[in-house]
Each structure stands twice: as C-alpha cells, then as structure tokens.
Amino acid sequence: MTSQVALHLAAGAMMTTAKIAAPILLSTMVVGLIVSLFQSVTQIQEATLTFVPKLVVVGLVIGIGGHWMLAQFMGYVHELFGELPQLLSSG
C-alpha cells in the first residue's frame, strides 16, 4: 500500500466520520447556545441545566437520523471492502 492510497483511505474515513457526526454536533451546539442565552437572561447559573436538553436532542437526532447515519457508514464500509483486493495486490 502506497502513501497515496493510505491518505485516500484516511481522507475517506474522516469525511464519513464528519458526515455522521455533524447532525449530532450541530444540534447539541444549537441547544447549548439556546440554553446559555436562557441562563444569561434569567441569571440562572446551573451547570447541569444544559445536560438534559442536550441528552434529549441527541436521542431525537439519533432516533430520526440514525438510519441515515448507519447507511452512510455501511456505504463506506462496503466501498472499502470492495477496494480490498486492489489494496492488497498493490502492496
């Protein structure tokens, strides 16, 4: 396996990871921003107040988008296994 192939595999893995993690990270970021604005306005400085809304949102995002996330991951794995004979023969 050449360094070019290894870089291609690493880039594909990172792109797939970013696509799968983006909905969860963006939704928790938005909820965290909303809760922190609420805390600033009401002057309630409770550190655990952000935990429950973020947990609920992550559960909803996984429940709604979990099938898509799993399909993205399985597509990458199928592509990787399809390229496996070429990868083994090139090294």
pTM of the model: 0.80
Compute the half-sphere exposure of residue 7: CA atoms within 13 Å on the CB side of its CA.
3
CB atoms within 10 A of CB 8: 13
Q: Which of 54, 62, 22 is nearest to 35 (CA)?
A: 54
Distances (CA, A) of 19 to 22, 24, 44, 86: 5, 10, 35, 26
* pLDDT less than 50: residues of the chain: none
Q: How many domains does the chain have?
A: 1
Domain that holds residue 40: 3-90
- Model pLDDT, residue 73: 95
- Model pLDDT, residue 83: 87
- Model pLDDT, residue 34: 94
Q: Which of 71, 79, 72, 55 is nearest to 17 (CA)?
A: 72
- Model pLDDT, residue 91: 57
